[in-house]
Structure 1
């Protein structure tokens, strides 16, 4: 299969599953190692009579790039030892089947995450004794490597931060309103604003999660709606200029990297 469609990593010394090295689970990679399928952009086009070519209806992110689909990651694994050891390895790995797991290894700027499934176990025997077992584990993973949490402290007024990764990411904001502030807002340098407005002074802790999979805004733990003109905007990679009005606070984000 062409290289641009698939990356094959024949031997990786220290992959971790949910943060645990495979060797601690009594498992090792076989010679086929790890295969990372390509992540393909989700593209939509439409024919229209009276026009040449097709109309591109693809949804794009803040950089104009099409959103990416999931990718399949396959690990070829084996366990050796006594029958009790092999059964323990099988049991521990099978407990994760159907769950969302993380996969990482040295040198990557983050981890993949996705739902895991197992193939059939292929047991090896020497006479009446089991000596090894082989299995293929697959992860229906998101397209991006998810980096560790990064936090920046923000003051009232203009702030400049540098965002890692190579894809837009979704921050979590934790804000403290200024005394007597009836409006709290965050603006970026691209015309986006996220604001809360009240008829009385806003008091207490404000937390805003912007990730589309779990988006919410709370004041003192109570769900609150932003203003109608507000956008839950992402952070772009590189330098971001953010202006806070009526508050101070912090932002936390996980950089996203596509490779």
Structure 2
């Protein structure tokens, strides 16, 4: 195994279970020294956006401060990833630009009274579980702003997640560092002309399910789903900031800006 040059930060390697990611991990494992994630100062992640989210959630659930992550795309879209290119990895890591991403915290209370808490890096979404339209009461900073929203669902997105599900639901793209969140309805029926809101990221959003027995609703924080919720409270968690690393010519803020001009 070829050791990294002296003075380089300790690095951990994680990979998606897909074939291309496993093959790439095997190639890298034989070329550099790696350590366990718990001992690392930088994590190199191989896979797609879904695996990147999984890696970040694993770090949020672990002990200590989350490590900066440099992802290389071996998935489909790879919006949160850099190009897969093993050559010159030391130089790329040394030149990488850091971007801070602040996750949301979802506190979901079920109809059974149980409370579930989960972080969300992209978005928290509420979705109807049956053919019945969901009916939701929307509260912003303890003030009811929509007494009844009839819809398929609603979501709260971070700037990093604003180009994902939020954009597909016709929500706004939020520049990284804008200190904003998007509140976006999914197929709203009433009020017909309400298309969502852009809010300061200090905002606390509460969503209460009306008629939860007749119109059951699930809540999803990125990939973690809670069924049959009665109420969901959402706020930014500034105590758990994450750091993503990008090649200077392929940085996250530039990609988010470019999405506003995509055909």
Query: TM-score normalised by the shorter chain: which range applies?
Result: 0.3 to 0.5
Higher Rg: 1
Higher fraction of helix: 2
Higher fraction of strand: 1
